[in-house]
Structure 1
């Protein structure tokens, strides 16, 4: 029996991403920065691929999670501060490149998937499921900023600055974590307002 588009969506997203990742990895602006930025992308993508047979997220969750994979890959190719995103800065009257802020905001989209697991497996109630998704993202955000700091002080100075992407803002780490948190709140609002229509509240399907 042929599978529908909705049933094949995760595999299609994965295939497109692999091609996208390879193309943007051919000639990045800085190979050292690209490697540092590619590691978390490959790590997350690998987890999603190898867990797909045991647990299939809703298509909404996969779409939200894929946004960060694509966005971060672009940032790794150009380095986040140098992504040609100036037109957005001009529109909002900003003095810095906010491409990385949107990337951090999209990290928060993973709160949708964290909460979905608990709800669909009936492991916790709405309040605990929501708080788990939110706090998981906040913890990841803080941990990632620590890893960025460690990389910056232990690697080549230019590569370290490029990975940090602070663009001279001494509060950059705090603003990045706030962006992660706001993204999580946004995705959790989506989960509870529209997730039921998207199948995100349905009982978890049996393992294939």
Structure 2
């Protein structure tokens, strides 16, 4: 995924990606429609951003990997503004094309959270593989499967966290944060989509022979 480095200062493109995501988080909280839920969505992103300079140098991530993770954080930040369940993509689609995506595909729920779970697998697998190869000497093939396992593990821990939240949080807060939208199989579908995205990344790496 390109040459990385362990220089004292991050390359300009990597610093720019961090700043872009930081600005996006700020913009997402202007006129925040769900202010009581915003911290649950955006505080983890801010924690990643503040840790990023140290983590990038420690794990020797290339600019391509940093951009990949940054794109995922941008998608998550957009979802967080609307607590995922209310991302108004139908409104945007009608304004651009005259028809909502839900009307076009017959969707009965907001699908944006599904997209972001897929993007998690797609955009994190290769950066994780690169970090493990550079710091721990994994082979390219083993690194791919380690990235696949990372996506599965993080997805499972995240769904367990959501479940625990329902046990300790007020009902509405938990329901809005979880974004199940009445789907009893939401957790399983989310994990499957993340693994599907990871598998697509693996296929792409094999095809490109990287």
TM-score by length of 2: 0.82
Q: Where in structure 1 are there 5+ consecutive unaligned residues?
A: 1-6, 197-208
Partner-residue secondary structure (3-state), 2:58 = coil
Does the CA contact (< 8 Å) of 2:60 and 2:131 recur in 1? Answer: no
**Moved runs in structure 1, 4+ residues, more than 6 A?**
none
By relative contact order (CA 8 Å, sep 6+), the higher-ranking structure is: 1
Q: Which residue of the other structure, out of 96, 120, 142, is the alignment partner of 2:109?
A: 96
Where does residue 176 of structure 2 map in the other structure? Answer: 162
Where does residue 187 of structure 1 map in the other structure? Answer: 201
TM-score by length of 1: 0.83
Mean CA deviation greater in 57-66 or 76-85: 57-66
Cα RMSD for the two superposed structures? 1.9
Where does residue 204 of structure 1 map in the other structure? Answer: none
Structure 1 segment 95-134 matched on structure 2, within 5 A: 95-108=108-121, 109-121=123-135, 123-134=137-148
Q: Matched residues in 2 for 1:88 and 1:59: separation?
A: 33
Partner-residue secondary structure (3-state), 2:142 = helix
Does the CA contact (< 8 Å) of 1:28 and 1:76 recur in 2? Answer: no
Provide closer, same or farther for how the CA distance between residues 49 and 190 of structure 1 changes in structure 2, counting only shifts above 3 A. Answer: farther
Q: Matched residues in 2 for 1:178 and 1:63: separation?
A: 24
Q: Matched residues in 2 for 1:189 and 1:120: separation?
A: 21
Q: Deviations over 1:23-71 (max 9, x none)?
A: 2123322223211111322233233232233344222212221122111
Structure 1 segment 37-116 matched on structure 2, within 5 A: 37-86=41-90, 87-108=100-121, 109-116=123-130
Q: Where in structure 2 are there 5+ consecutive unaligned residues?
A: 1-10, 91-99
Where does residue 200 of structure 1 map in the other structure? Answer: none
